[in-house]
Amino acid sequence: MFLANVPWMAVVRFRPRPSARLGFADVWAYTRFWSQGGGVTCGWIPRASGLGTKTDLVSAEPAAFEADIAVLAPKHRSPSPLIVNLAIGFGFVSAAALALAAAGFSLQFGITNIFNLAYGTVMTVGMYTAYTVNVMGGQSIWLGLLSAAAAGAVLSWLMNTYLFTPLIRKGVSLWAVTIVTFAAGIIVGSTLLAVAGTRYKTYRQPVYRAHHFLGVELSTLQLEIIGLAVLILTGLHLLLRYSRLGKQMRATAANPDLARTSGIATAQVTGAAWLLSGALCGVAGVLEALDLTTFTSLTGDTLLLVVVAAAIFGGIGQAYGAMLGALVIGMATELAAVASPSLKNVIAFAILAATLLIRPNGLLPSPTISLTGTS
C-alpha cells in the first residue's frame, strides 16, 4: 500500500471512488497535505491514479510537505468535528462549481427548450483544455480556466449553429434533438477517449494555505473557487436582469414567437445563450476538476447526474432555481459523504426522486418557462 512510504500524508478517511466505469482502484483516500507554512490543499485522491505517490506530489511542489500522519483506518473512522467541518467546506465548494454548471444548463434549456445531454462532455472538454494550457503549456490555472470557458463556449455554439438549429428548422421534434445532443456528446467524448485515454489527470498548482471561518476550514483555492463562482453568478444575474441581452433572453424564454414579432433577433439571442451556457459549463468543469483534484475523459458524464439533479430540483429552465438546487445538492452530498462516502451520488438521486414525487415539474415551476422567479 502506497501510504507506507509517504510520511507527509494525513489520511483522514477512505471512500470508494465515485465513478467506477474504468476499472481503476477501488479506494480513494481523502488527504490533506501540510506545507511548511501550514498550508493545506484538500481533495480526493484515487489510490491507483498515479497521483498519490510521493514522486508525483514532490515533483509538483518540491519540499513542500511536512510529515503529519494521522491515519484513520476505514473501520475505525468516526465523523470527528474536523471531518464535518471539512465536509461543510467541501459542500460550499461543490455547491459553487455545481451552481455555475446548473445555471448554464438551465439558462440554455430555458431559452432553447433543448435538453443538452452533451453538457457533461463539454465540461470534460473544458477540463482538458485547461489541462493543456496549465500542465502542457505551463501557464497558470486561471489562464487555463479562461481557455476552458472559451473552448466550452465555442464548442456549444458550433453544435447549436451547425447541428441543433438546422435540425429544428427542418422540423425535427425536440425529443429527437435531445437524442442528437446525446449523439454529439458521444462523438466528442469518444474523440477525447481516443486522444486522451483513460488515465487520471491533475492540474499543476501551488500548495495553498488554510483559512478558518466560524470553525469551517477552507484552503485558499477553495475560497477562490467560491469567490469566482459568486462573482460569475452575480454577473449573470446583472446580465439577465438589467442588460438588453438579458431582457431579450428572458423574453425569448417566455415566448419565442412573441419575442420574434416584437423585433428581437431570437436566433442571435439563442446563439448568445449557447455561448454563455458553454462558457459557464467550461468554467464549472475546471472548478469541479480542481475540487475533485483529478479527472478523466468520463468525469463530466458522471457530473451530469448532479447537474441535472440540481437543475430539476430548482425547476428546469430557471437559472435561479438551479443555483438554489446546486446549494442544496452540493451541501447534502458532501455532508452525506461524512456518514458514508459513496452515499454522495445516492443522496443526489434521492433528492431528485423526492422532488419528482412531490413536485413532478420541479420546485419552482412556472406556466411559461422563465429565467427569473419574478417575471
Binding site for other proteins (CB under 8 A): 16-21, 23, 26, 115, 117, 163, 166-167, 170, 172, 174-176, 178-180, 182-184, 186-187, 189-191, 193-194, 197-198, 301-302, 304-305, 308-309, 312, 316, 342, 345-346, 348-349, 352-353, 356-357, 360-361
Contact predicate 132/148, CB 8 Å: no
Question: C-beta of 1: minimal distance to other proteins in Å?
Answer: 19
Q: Which is nearer to other proteins, 10 or 308 (CB)?
A: 308
Contact predicate 260/266, CB 8 Å: yes
Question: C-beta of 72: minimal distance to other proteins in Å?
Answer: 20
Query: What is residue 67's three-state secondary structure?
Result: coil
Q: Which is nearer to other proteins, 142 or 182 (CB)?
A: 182
Q: Which is nearer to other proteins, 21 or 212 (CB)?
A: 21
Question: C-beta of 197: minimal distance to other proteins in Å?
Answer: 7
Query: What is residue 123's three-state secondary structure?
Result: helix
Enclosing H/E stretch for 41? strand 40-46
Question: C-beta of 176: minimal distance to other proteins in Å?
Answer: 6
Q: Which is nearer to other proteins, 185 or 282 (CB)?
A: 185
Cell of 315: 425547476
Cell of 88: 461543510
Question: C-beta of 345: minimal distance to other proteins in Å?
Answer: 5
Contact predicate 232/107, CB 8 Å: no
Q: Which is nearer to other proteins, 33 or 115 (CB)?
A: 115
Question: Residue 262, exposed/middle/buried by CB under 10 A (0-12, 13-18, 19+)?
Answer: exposed
Q: Which is nearer to other proteins, 37 or 166 (CB)?
A: 166
Torsion of CA 355, 356, 361, 364, to 10 degrees: 0
Cell of 287: 472548478
Contact predicate 291/226, CB 8 Å: no
Question: C-beta of 343: minimal distance to other proteins in Å?
Answer: 9
